[in-house]
Amino acid sequence: MSNHKEHPFNAVLVDGARIPFLKSGTDYNDLMAYDLGRMAIQGLLARNPIDPSSIDRVIMGNVIQEVRTSNIARESALGAGIPNSVPAFTIAMACISSNQAITSGVDLIRSGQANIILASGTETMSDIPIRFKKKFRQNVLAARKYKSPLEFLKFFKGLGFKDFLPELPAIAEFSTGETMGQSADRMAARFGVSRQDQDEFAMRSHHLAAKATKEGLLDEELIPAKVPPKFEVVNHDNGFREDTTMEKLGKLRPAFIKPHGTITAGNASFLTDGASACLIMEEQTALLLGLKPKAYIREYNFVSQDPGDELLLGPAYATPKVLETMNLALEDIDVFELHEAFAGQVLSVLNALDSQEFAKKSLQRDNKVGQIPMDKLNTLGGSLSLGHPFGATGVRLVTTAANRLIREDGTFALVSACAAGGQGHAVILERYK
């Protein structure tokens, strides 16, 4: 029986775009995440004939916050020329931040509170907030009360050499102390995913991204970035490696669990800078504006598991749930876009969905969900090759899925992603006809 609910207002994806995703430390090296977000929003608005003042809300995903632009959605919107009368808010939900930005927009439309939403995401890994240790920070704050120069000698009291060393944002899970790579390595072992399987999947991703770029299949979602101060134009992603081979990947050493781990720098997503933006509207509003929607945004969900044992397994729980809500099976889906944090993570999710044991023990189902066909999955590359700016990936996945539905003459697309904290997400798009 279908749990699919009819809503009084339908949310549709009108358009989605992104500036090229670049390896950190390259062309966006001197820019703030705010600059990237601003460029993505400007590019999207430039090609869609809507009055920016008619936007009801700007929602932006962002994970590693820059203190100066803590509500980066507001700053990027103002920087992009959206009138100051349009409210904006920022969402942090690790790798599914802009998925949540989209679905928050859908909720506002479905409840009749909004007609036009700009959902977006931005991230820079080239400039992350580095701070002093806590003891040093406490002494700095206490120093504000000092009156005389002599009092400043108190500043060094209790400080050791280590207190002067900078502190980087943690890459480990706060709740478990384990890094995502370590967790993915254990998960790959649990689901029988070998090093060779992972390297083959990574190579596939890189080759498909190179092919899609060469054939112009990503042009529809890409907007050129004009990088200040010289305003040189960046047209394409720069992280995919067309020349990668199994031999090259095979030479890389384990990155997290040494010496026997299977996850390497070659089969994991790399540090990326980038931003994306999309327009979501109430169906009738889009039609009145003379805009042809790409897809309906149908049912979606967010799930959470134990971050210790199943940190990146979210899609294996979210996928069956969203299919059931729509009364669909895997066979009914024409386009799959799965976030690729690690090759081992994607392959573990695929194995879990195709496992009778996982269905019974973890999903409380009699039958396994089934097999996702590789010829429908991430056919233009994925996060392993195109890059993964944490806050921006969700909008990329949804945009790519909608464009593929139209190009491939499909009906339904399924987008799913894992995220830090043991969380996950899935959403179904239906092509607009």
- Count Cβ atoms below 10 Å from residue 310 Cβ, excluding itself: 22
| Max CA separation in the chain (angstroms) | 77
Active site residues: 95, 418
CB neighbours of 412 closer than 8 A, spacing ≥ 6? 326, 328, 332, 333, 334, 335, 405, 428, 429, 430, 431
Burial status of residue 46 (CB atoms within 10 A of its CB: 0-12, 13-18, 19 or more): exposed
Q: Are 90 and 71 in contact (CB under 8 A)?
A: yes
Q: Are 244 and 206 in contact (CB under 8 A)?
A: yes
DSSP 68-111: GGSSHHHHHHHHTT--TTS-EEEE-BTBTHHHHHHHHHHHHHHT
Residue 325 DSSP symbol: H
Taking Cα atoms as reference points, which of 282, 291, 218, 294 lies closest to residue 47? 291
Kindly give the pairing relationship between strand 272-282 and strand 116-123: antiparallel
**CA distance from start to end of the chain:** 26
Q: Cα–Cα distance between 273 and 391 in angstroms, integer?
A: 10
- Measured CA to CA in angstroms, residue 297 lies from 124, 279, 282, 326, 346 at distances of 28, 12, 10, 12, 23
Q: Are 311 and 190 in contact (CB under 8 A)?
A: no
Map residue 43 onto helix, strand or coil: helix
Preceding amide of 169 cis, omega within 30: no
Q: Computed over its alpha carbons, how large is the radius of gyration of the chain?
A: 22
DSSP 366-402: SS------GGGBSBTB-HHHH---TTTHHHHHHHHHH
